[in-house]
């Protein structure tokens, strides 16, 4: 049986697709990796919102699934929209890796630093930690952003720790932010295997139940808030408690709340943001 696995074509995405494929291989199963270019890959300069907001790294993969050009799409779960398109489901989440954000180029945040990130979520929380920071937009794959830090003379860049770890670049990390410092993006650190509804059996054996429980709570909280790449919204479940956050992009205010009900938590954040 041949299973066609779709993925973005970056070094990290292909590494992640191979991690997923390793979990799927079994006697009688042949895996074919199929790189697909997304809108976020084609345009690496514009802010995410100008390309199409959240989902810029998944739309083409989802279209390939719906058109039966691939059988499974491997996503960084944090890149997905808060709900699946009609006809598609997340059939499996692989066990979550480190969900934290990582500071590369320095071991701590200090006044006046120039820090690169394209994430409104990271920008808001970094400025709340240290208002004198200069946050500079920085896009591209991991290797590109690490290189641009030196080329542009930035003091540091902030990236997802899991991506650096998966590429063997953990030594680049000077500091891993505790979620109390920088609350992670919903689903950060998890890989999602998306399939057509009815094809869940293709990936069911790879599903990690605890990761699913936590990640889906985070996604539901963010969906309730209506957050996207332009909205500084975050959610993280540590296994015991769900924490969610909404903020002003300039870090002038942040509201962080915890609870057990993702919808109630999201509605509370919406109320707080409208004060």
Closest CA to 247 of 119, 155, 158: 119
- 71: annotated active-site residue: no
Handedness of CA 205, 14, 136, 274 (dihedral sign): negative
Q: Identify each DSSP E strand in 17-142 by its residue range.
A: 30-35, 72-76, 88-93, 101-104, 114-116, 134-136
47 φ, ψ (degrees, to nearest 5): -60, 150
Give the three-state DSSP class for 160. Answer: strand
d(CA 40, CA 47): 10
Environment class of 244 (CB within 10 Å of its CB; exposed 0-12, middle 13-18, buried 19+) = buried
For residue 4, the tally of other CB atoms under 10 A from its CB is 17
**205 CB contacts (<8 Å, ≥6 apart)?**
23, 24, 92
Q: Give the number of C-alpha atoms closer than 13 A to the C-alpha of residue 262, restricted to the C-beta side.
A: 20
100 φ, ψ (degrees, to nearest 5): -75, 160
Give the three-state DSSP class for 143. Answer: helix
Please answer whether residues 190 and 229 qualify as being in contact, where contact means their C-beta atoms are separated by less than 8 angstroms: no
Q: Which listed residue (71, 79, 98, 101) is catalytic?
A: 79
The secondary structure of residue 256, as a DSSP letter, is E
- Residue positions annotated with a catalytic role: 79
């Amino acid at each position: 049986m041949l299973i066609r696995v779709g993925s973005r074509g970056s070094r990290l995405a292909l590494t992640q697709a191979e991690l997923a494929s390793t979990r799927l291989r079994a006697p009688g199963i042949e895996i074919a990796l199929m790189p697909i270019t997304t809108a976020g890959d084609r345009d690496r300069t514009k802010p995410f919102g100008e390309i199409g907001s959240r989902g810029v790294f998944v739309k083409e993969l989802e279209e390939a699934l719906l058109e039966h050009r691939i059988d499974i799409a491997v996503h960084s779960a944090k890149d997905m929209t808060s709900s699946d398109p009609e006809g598609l489901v997340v059939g499996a989440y692989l066990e979550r890796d480190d969900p934290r954000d990582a500071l590369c180029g320095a071991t701590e945040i200090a006044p006046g630093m120039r820090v690169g990130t394209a994430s409104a979520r990271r920008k808001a929380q970094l400025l709340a930690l240290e208002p004198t920071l200069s946050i500079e937009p920085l896009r591209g794959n991991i290797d590109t952003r690490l290189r641009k830090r030196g080329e542009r003379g930035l003091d540091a860049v902030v990236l997802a720790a899991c991506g650096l770890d998966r590429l063997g670049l953990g030594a680049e990390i000077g500091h891993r932010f505790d979620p109390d410092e920088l609350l992670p993006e919903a689903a950060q650190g998890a890989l999602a295997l998306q399939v057509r509804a009815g094809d869940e059996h293709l990936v069911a054996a790879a599903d990690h139940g605890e990761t699913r429980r936590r990640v889906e709570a985070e996604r539901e909280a963010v969906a309730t808030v209506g957050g996207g790449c332009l909205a500084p919204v975050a959610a993280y479940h540590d296994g015991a408690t769900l924490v969610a956050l909404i903020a002003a992009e300039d870090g002038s205010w942040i509201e962080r709340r915890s609870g057990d009900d993702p919808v109630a938590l999201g509605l509370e954040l919406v109320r707080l943001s409208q004060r």
